[in-house]
Amino acid sequence: MSVRMGLLALLSEQPMYGAQLKHQFETRTGGTVELNIGQVYTTLARLERDGLVQPGAQPDAQGRIAYALTEAGHTEVQTWWSTPVQRSCISRDELEIKLALALANQPREAMGHLLDAQRGACMTHLQNLHAASRQCRAGASETSLGGDLADPVSRRALLLTLDHMIFSAEAEVKWIDHVQTQLRTPPALTAETTPAAQPEVTR
Amino acid sequence: MSQSNPCTPPARQPELVMTHVSKAFGHDATMVRAVDEVSLAVFSGEMVAVMGASGSGKSTLLNLAGGLERPDRGTISVHGQRIDTAKPAQLAALRRTQVGYVFQYYNLIPSLSAQENVALPLELAGTRGRTARLHAAEMLRLVGMDQHCARFPDELSGGQQQRVAIARALVGPRTLLLADEPTAALDSHIGQEILELIRQRCDQGAAALVVTHEPRNAAWADRVIFLRDGAVTDSSTASADLESLLASIRSGGGDSSSGTSGTSEPTAAGAGEPA
């Protein structure tokens, strides 16, 4: 979905051919997304099928065909900008599943170690993201960032993604703290864990 | 520490060394082991964060490192000097010259202006008044308080007072910065600027020990140690640079946190998009 809409949004700026779209998509997302060219053409084919883009009548001097948005394509992009992205409530996160199962499956002490180790891992992740973000901010003049990130638009996009990851990682550390605090306050939790353990016994 | 290999870079200077440090409060049945057998070294150029729930011993650890508390057992050295056995006068001199301390509460002197508060440690260390005030003004500018040099603490908001306190802790050639929840009274934007100042000092060669319960604040540190019931349970060291992180973002793998949804989508998009 994000690739499809991303390509449409780029084409709303100007008609482009495949390689151009790939390059623009990668640069403008700060190098966080890598597309392969086959994927670009497959998506363009679908968009054409759906009447959202149309290929130019004439190839350019190098034989490349630029794609442009149709009227319906422009409408689609406008709708995308004006509609909030809906977050799913369906959790497929391994950590959530692991902790949920550990509640009844692991002895309390082991659960404590598990949470400590997980907090450490999440914190390392957060430190790494933070260091990367500082490096990215400071690296305006540094060549070490190379290629795409020399471009300010690209760098800003990368920072946006890093900040998103930082906020998520921060929330995860806080969530682990919260789980641990709840585990350490006996009344509420013993009341809940005891019945949870019972069905297993009867089975 | 070993000098055997001539190729190894010179060992970094440990600014703070705590060895098997314990501190308890109360007696017998009511005794609380606030800090229990903690060993820790903070090196020049390093920023270390201490995390833990309230009551885990974070603040006591910091007070021990700053010489505000004496340990029951163990040794503590700052800038190569033992502080657990130092005489009060030696301790005061060391705290004035080497250690910058930011408290949870600002502890500014009410009868002195912001600039005078910041200049005070320099003057106590022997800097001439005019020079000290110039340095103080520059430091206040760095924390965004240059408009308020002449104000007195009771004319400043809590956040402004904390920025003055931070300027006071950072002024002069301090080699060890100790901060206890330094951003608690600040809104998050200013809080991050203050941490950036501490980070910069470390990048310039200072050592810092920062107590915080906020993951976002601890993320500025090279190393994070976790305390529970006065003991270190775990530690976390930053390990990746921007390039390797970018590589793992692009490949859509190597990241188990939930915060990366979207980055792994390209592989899925090519496969089966509903018609």
Which 3 state secondary structure label does DSSP give B14?
A: strand
pTM equals 0.80
* pLDDT score, position A72: 97
ipTM: 0.79
Euclidean distance between CA atoms B250 and A31, whole angstroms: 7
Which 3 state secondary structure label does DSSP give B186?
A: coil
Q: Do A130 and B249 touch (CB under 8 A)?
A: no
Which 3 state secondary structure label does DSSP give A74?
A: helix
The full DSSP string for B74-122 is: EEEEETTEE-SS--HHHHHHHHHHTEEEE-SS----TTS-HHHHHHHHH
- Given a cut of 90, is residue B37 above it in pLDDT? yes
Euclidean distance between CA atoms A127 and A111, whole angstroms: 24
Q: What average pLDDT does this structure show over B226-239?
A: 91
Q: Using CB atoms, pick whichever of A124, A132, A168 lies closest to residue B236.
A: A124
| B59 and B211 Cβ atoms separated by less than 8 Å | yes
Q: What average pLDDT does this structure show over A23-48?
A: 91
Q: Do A128 and B240 touch (CB under 8 A)?
A: yes
Interface subset of A 169-198, CB within 8 angstroms of B? 169-174, 177, 181
Work out the pLDDT band at B251, boundaries 50, 70, 90: low
Both structure tokens of B196: 């950036």
Both structure tokens of A179: 């789980």
Rg of chain B on CA atoms, in Å: 22
Q: What percent of chain B has pLDDT over 90?
A: 52
- Considering only alpha carbons, which residue of chain B is nearest residue A121? B236
* CA distances (Å), origin B164, targets B129, B193, B218: 18, 13, 22
Q: Long-range pairs for A39-43 at CB < 8 Å and ≥24 separation? A: A39/A3, A39/B266, A39/B269, A39/B270, A40/A7, A42/B270, A43/A3, A43/A4, A43/A7, A43/B269, A43/B270
| B181 and B195 Cβ atoms separated by less than 8 Å | no
Q: What average pLDDT does this structure show over B142-169?
A: 90
* pLDDT score, position B178: 94
- Considering only alpha carbons, which residue of chain B is nearest residue A130? B219
pLDDT digits (tens, 9 = 90+) for A32-44: 888 899 999 999 9
- Given a cut of 90, is residue B246 above it in pLDDT? no
Question: Would you state the torsion angle of the CA atoms of residues B75, B76, B82, B87, taken in this order, to the nearest 10 degrees?
Answer: -90
- Given a cut of 60, is residue B84 above it in pLDDT? yes
pLDDT digits (tens, 9 = 90+) for A60-101: 888 899 999 999 999 999 999 999 888 877 777 888 889 888
